[in-house]
Chain A
Amino acid sequence: MKADLVIALAGNANVGKSSIFNQLTGLGQIIGNWPGKTVEKAEGMLLHHGKHINIIDLPGIYSLSTYSQEEIISREYIARGNPDVVVNVVDATSLERNLFFTLQLLEMGTPLVIALNLVDAAKKKGITINEKRLQKLLNTPVVPTIATKGIGVHEIVDNAIIQATRHQPTDKNTIRYGPEIETRIEKLERVLTGVELGYPLRWTAIKLLEGDSEIVNKVNEKDPTVVVAANILAGEISEIHKEPCSTVITSERYAVAARIVKEVQTFKESEKPSMSERLDSLSMHSVGGYILMFTIMLSILIFMSLFGGWFSETIQNLFESFNPHLTGVWPDLFWNGGVVGLYATLSVALGFILPFYLILGFLEDSGYLPKIAYLMDRPCHTIGLHGKACIPLMLAFGCNVPACVGCRIMETKRDRFIAIFLSTLVPCSARTVVILGLVGAYVGVQWALLLYIFDFALIFLIGRILNRFLPGVSIGIIMEMPSYRLPSGKVILKQAWNRFKPFLITALPLIILGSIIIETMRITDVLSLVSNALSPVTVVWLGLPAFTGFLFIFGILRKEASLILLMTAAGTGDIRSAMSPAQMIVFALVIMIYVPCVATIAALVREIGWKKAGLITLTEIGLAMFIGGLAYRLLILFI
């Protein structure tokens, strides 16, 4: 369906673009309280007074002089003139920095509506903004909003429709620089006439003076003499100001932003520190911060282990109490294949995966993740990264796929590759199921904990090796620190559900089908054929029962499936009869490392290409086999 109107949501990171998007479209774009969670543009439809409106959610962007990959996506989308209207979402609590970007949008001449978001949070901080005055100064409609509550979001669309239909002269609203800069912009505009790039002329000229590498390259392809002219003019400006030309222009923009803020904003500083600040001084404390962080992590792990174990046992007992204990091929197929598969999946899904997504959602929404980035920045340097990498690494505990995509917040290719590689080694919720559901439940929580510690040590070691052999150094962290906020229960539930839904839709049928296949193969003896073919690795080297060979293959599809199918394959649902404790540990260890699942491999290919994806996959297979075999030989000495 062709949309009547295309509206793009743009603005600094973590100002509530995705919240407005969700309110308007009813979709479930993941939101959270940290800068950089939206790294891809999302699209949704809205029917507004009979009009089909296409809403685009863009990644956060601080400046049109882009820095990291997700910002380029935003700039390209805005600059190429795709949207009919840009809705600039502005954080009322830090107006000055947000206006800096607004001024750049005005410079581009796109029809604009400003959504002044988080007015409630600003009020709490003692900030009041005269939006009428702001509207007049910018000559652009300003709508105060509280996105999380849906206040003001439909007024945005009303204004956007008006803006789109009104014919606007393009550079009426743009800011004027000092005369020494303006004359040079004009000169460059004249030279540029005829070089068609698809961007507004004045904007292209300014970007050339700023030395924006993307624009310079594009102009250079068409007409290199323009670039030479721009360099001379920029040189003249920096000669006058004794500063690089780009800095001069940036400073002027900020001066304008500061002037506007002075006129429209009143600020009454509260006397006692806010709740968020008091939480900061605890959670970012040089000693207390680390203690708190480890305590949180450890309690999550222990809680998950205990709750998941208890829950799956309850479910298992409940279902087994209905077991008719019939014998024969068809009842076997039905019960061991279908029913055991179903309840094993249910126990895993509701006992481990859903609670974990709820906890992760809470951490994301409260704004705790950036604190981890702050605390862990220094340790991250030893593995060639900076603190921001902790955010995708934390997300990887939920699922490796969004983590790999989320690594786009890393600024250089090198940092991104290291962060992606390490993300695939983080035990995701599926692997947590195997570690806690098998080792935690049947061998002991301390062994599960040991597996985690081992995995972290492995991540650290591989990080060190990558850091040693990949040329270059990490440039260091530059990140905005959001304030804490109380997460909304509704949002967390919705978010957990959105993450959980794919599991129910794709994994559940796959696992039940897998259980039936295994049962069929067991009855028809095909299982032993497959298992025997793999037995040199599984039995001889890893010391595991032969039937695990099939589980490893199936585990490539979904790692949690390997545990569920293990229950089916063991026949009765009680794994202890089929495996010794040492075997369980080795099994979980291999599952933890051996290969990223299919979905992750696909994400890897998309993010970093076939070659590097293949390298990561093969390295992890090799590592898992090597470590697994070694662990078996060690473990039989102890248990």
Chain B
Amino acid sequence: MPQEHIEEYLEAIFDIAGKDGTAKTSEIAEHLKNAPASVTEVFQRMKKKGLVRYESHKGVSLTTKGYKAAVKLKRKHRLLEVFLDKMLHLPQENIHEQACKMEHTLSDETEIALCKTLKGPTQCPHGSPIPPCNLEVKNCQECLSEQNLSLEKREKDIVAITSLKHGEKAKIVFVRGGGGVMQRLCDLGLTNGTIVSINRTAPMNGPLEICVRGCKLVIGKGIAEKIFVQKT
């Protein structure tokens, strides 16, 4: 089975899985327009590779390995979309499909070069957040200012604050984005290294209530997606 095929599945599970991290076989089948039987077969193979957890009655969920791979693909896909849109000025309706095909052959080296050339974009043209890279840098500024970057990988996982579970504590690593909003978050105490936790989330992509320095703050989802944390 081609790698490309498996990668499509990884992305599909990543997109469809709900809060508990699982997706139903039927949903995946519908999404990829494949027969449920062949979907099940692919799941079994992915399970052997350690990419997913799969039990026929419970549905499918990504393992840490699978999750990392999926995030990486999403990153490549969205970076490519920005590239096709901003640099090549391709029509909006074509860029998603193009990026879908290109993402599978994009090397990590090209991915980093692309990110630097595009000056560390935070969102794809459709408004979805671009996951951060896993380089040993504090933030995008450092990466952009340094010429000879050592391409070491990060030891620990860095995720957007939105992917924390309720009550889980994490340390802020960096806040992406510019000017006013970033400064305001800093002023409210969300400086790098600060411990934060999520109290609750409003439904339908609503805002988050977070706890920081003994205060409760409400932060919109769009802004929260730019706050990156390391689980403690």
Task: List residues of A whose CB falls within 8 A of some B CB.
Answer: 62-63, 65, 67, 93-97, 100, 238-239, 242-244, 246-247, 250-251, 254, 258, 280-281, 284, 286-287, 370, 373-375, 377-378, 386-387, 411, 475-481, 483
| Bound CA span A519–B32, Å | 76
B194: nearest chain-A partner, CB-CB: A254
A373 surroundings in chain B (CB, below 8 A)? 218
**Top 5 closest pairs, chain A to chain B, by CB:** A476-B220, A63-B187, A378-B206, A242-B142, A481-B216
How far, in Å, is A96 (CB) from chain B's closest CB?
Answer: 5
Which of A62, A93, A243, A287 is the one whose CB lies under 8 Å from B141? A243
Does B215 contact A480, Cβ atoms closer than 8 Å? Answer: yes
Does B187 contact A377, Cβ atoms closer than 8 Å? Answer: no
Q: A254-B189, A378-B202 are in contact. List 13 more A-B contacts (CB 8 A).
A: A94-B213, A94-B214, A96-B213, A97-B213, A242-B139, A244-B141, A246-B186, A251-B192, A284-B209, A286-B202, A373-B218, A387-B207, A478-B218
Does A251 contact B202, Cβ atoms closer than 8 Å? Answer: no
- CB contacts under 8 Å to A, within B164-203, are 180-189, 191-194, 199-200, 202-203
Show 5 A/B contacts (Cβ-Cβ < 8 Å), sorted by A: A238-B141, A242-B141, A247-B182, A281-B200, A481-B216
B138 at the interface (CB under 8 A from A): yes
B3 at the interface (CB under 8 A from A): no
The verdict on A480 contacting B186 (CB below 8 Å), with A242-B138, A243-B192, A475-B181 known, is no
Which of B142, B181, B188, B202 is the one whose CB lies under 8 Å from A374? B202
Does A284 contact B200, Cβ atoms closer than 8 Å? Answer: yes
Which of B137, B189, B217, B220 is the one whose CB lies under 8 Å from A481? B217
The verdict on A250 contacting B191 (CB below 8 Å), with A97-B213, A478-B184 known, is yes
Which of B137, B213, B214, B218 is the one whose CB lies under 8 Å from A377? B218
Say which size band chain B's interface belongs to.
Answer: 35 or more
B178: nearest chain-A partner, CB-CB: A244
B141 surroundings in chain A (CB, below 8 A)? 238, 242-244
B138 surroundings in chain A (CB, below 8 A)? 242-243
B88 surroundings in chain A (CB, below 8 A)? none
B37 at the interface (CB under 8 A from A): no
Does A386 contact B191, Cβ atoms closer than 8 Å? Answer: no
The verdict on A100 contacting B187 (CB below 8 Å), with A251-B192, A377-B220 known, is yes
B148 at the interface (CB under 8 A from A): no
| Bound CA span A411–B180, Å | 10
How far, in Å, is B185 (CB) from chain A's closest CB?
Answer: 7
How far, in Å, is B189 (CB) from chain A's closest CB?
Answer: 5
Does B209 contact A65, Cβ atoms closer than 8 Å? Answer: no
| Bound CA span A56–B169, Å | 41
| Bound CA span A481–B191, Å | 19
How far, in Å, is B213 (CB) from chain A's closest CB?
Answer: 5
B129 surroundings in chain A (CB, below 8 A)? none
The verdict on A67 contacting B184 (CB below 8 Å), with A373-B218, A377-B207, A378-B207 known, is yes
How far, in Å, is B165 (CB) from chain A's closest CB?
Answer: 15
Q: What is the total of A-B residue contacts with beta carbons within 8 Å?
A: 132
B71 at the interface (CB under 8 A from A): no
The verdict on A96 contacting B189 (CB below 8 Å), with A250-B183, A475-B181 known, is yes
B232 at the interface (CB under 8 A from A): no
| Bound CA span A246–B137, Å | 19
| Bound CA span A284–B208, Å | 11
The verdict on A480 contacting B181 (CB below 8 Å), with A63-B187, A242-B139, A250-B186 known, is no
Does B188 contact A478, Cβ atoms closer than 8 Å? Answer: yes
B145 at the interface (CB under 8 A from A): yes
B174: nearest chain-A partner, CB-CB: A243
B29 at the interface (CB under 8 A from A): no
B186 surroundings in chain A (CB, below 8 A)? 246-247, 250-251
B194 surroundings in chain A (CB, below 8 A)? 254
B219 at the interface (CB under 8 A from A): yes
B215 surroundings in chain A (CB, below 8 A)? 94, 97, 480
A483 surroundings in chain B (CB, below 8 A)? 216
B38 at the interface (CB under 8 A from A): no
| Bound CA span A251–B219, Å | 20
A375 surroundings in chain B (CB, below 8 A)? 202, 206
The verdict on A386 contacting B187 (CB below 8 Å), with A67-B180, A247-B192 known, is no
The verdict on A247 contacting B213 (CB below 8 Å), with A242-B138, A284-B200, A370-B218 known, is no
Does B213 contact A475, Cβ atoms closer than 8 Å? Answer: no
Which of B191, B205, B207, B216 is the one whose CB lies under 8 Å from A477? B207
How far, in Å, is A284 (CB) from chain B's closest CB?
Answer: 6
| Bound CA span A419–B202, Å | 22
Does B220 contact A477, Cβ atoms closer than 8 Å? Answer: yes
A96 surroundings in chain B (CB, below 8 A)? 189, 213-214
| Bound CA span A238–B215, Å | 29
A281 surroundings in chain B (CB, below 8 A)? 200
Hey, what's the 0/1 contact readout for B52-77 against A, CB within 8 Å counting as 1?
00000000000000000000000000
B203 surroundings in chain A (CB, below 8 A)? 286-287, 378
B135 at the interface (CB under 8 A from A): no
B12 at the interface (CB under 8 A from A): no
The verdict on A478 contacting B217 (CB below 8 Å), with A63-B187, A67-B180, A239-B145 known, is yes
B187: nearest chain-A partner, CB-CB: A63
Which of A94, A378, A386 is the one whose CB lies under 8 Å from B205? A378
| Bound CA span A476–B206, Å | 10
B145: nearest chain-A partner, CB-CB: A239
Does A254 contact B191, Cβ atoms closer than 8 Å? Answer: yes
B192 surroundings in chain A (CB, below 8 A)? 243, 247, 251
B125 at the interface (CB under 8 A from A): no
B180 surroundings in chain A (CB, below 8 A)? 67, 411, 475
